[in-house]
Amino acid sequence: SISSSPKQRSYYEITVAGIKKGFVSNYFLKKVKKGDSFTATAPSGRFHYNPVFHSKKSVFLAGGSGITPFLSMARSIANGSEDFNLILLYGSRNESSILFKDEFSMLEKESEKIKVIHVLGEQQSDSEKSFEHGFVTSDLIKKYVPKTDYSVFVCGPQEMYRFIDKELEKLNLEKKFIRHEMFG
């Protein structure tokens, strides 16, 4: 998945999630080395913020490597090429499995429009760090999301979609304000 800002034009930064029997992911993770080059088609897709359709207040729900499109969007906000508020609830198993933790922390400091909440499924928060525990639920969304209209973007593993769609139903959002990124 592309994780660089759309404004970055000289190269694309990608994030590769390892898949047990994945042909391409295993090739990239085990064989590719610095300096290798590849020819690829241009990026495509419709999973992005569009000010015509989406609320300026947007909620992003990510699980695992589903974080990559939201990193791209956060980078765009921080560099001034996008103008919307990003509230990210990012589900990870434990603190050590959080992808791009330091970069998101830096992006939060660069822009008051970026807020990241880490939700750990298998680890309780200790007294020095503040993480939510469990899963991203409708109650957790309500805790961090403004009472005004907002758009929701969801990206993560298939199991997450089954769970989060039921939670989003509890919020009585119009379906047009919910976007899913689908792989495969």
- pLDDT of the residue at 42: 73
d(C-alpha 32, C-alpha 181), whole Å = 27
Tokens 């999973």, residue located: 47
The type of residue at 3 is S
Question: Does position 165 have pLDDT exceeding 80, yes or no?
Answer: yes
Q: Which residue has the higher pLDDT, 4 or 180?
A: 180
On the 0-12 / 13-18 / 19+ scale of CB atoms within 10 A, 58 is: buried
pTM of the model: 0.83
Question: Does position 8 have pLDDT exceeding 60, yes or no?
Answer: yes
Tokens 């998945």, residue located: 1
- pLDDT of the residue at 41: 78
Given a contact cutoff of 8 angstroms between Cβ atoms, the answer to whether 114 and 94 are in contact is: no
Computed over every residue of the chain, the mean pLDDT equals 85
- pLDDT of the residue at 130: 78
Question: Does position 125 have pLDDT exceeding 70, yes or no?
Answer: no
Tokens 């957790």, residue located: 140
Question: Does position 127 have pLDDT exceeding 50, yes or no?
Answer: no
Question: Does position 35 have pLDDT exceeding 50, yes or no?
Answer: yes
pLDDT tens-place string over residues 48-96: 777 667 777 889 999 988 898 899 889 989 988 888 889 999 999 899 8
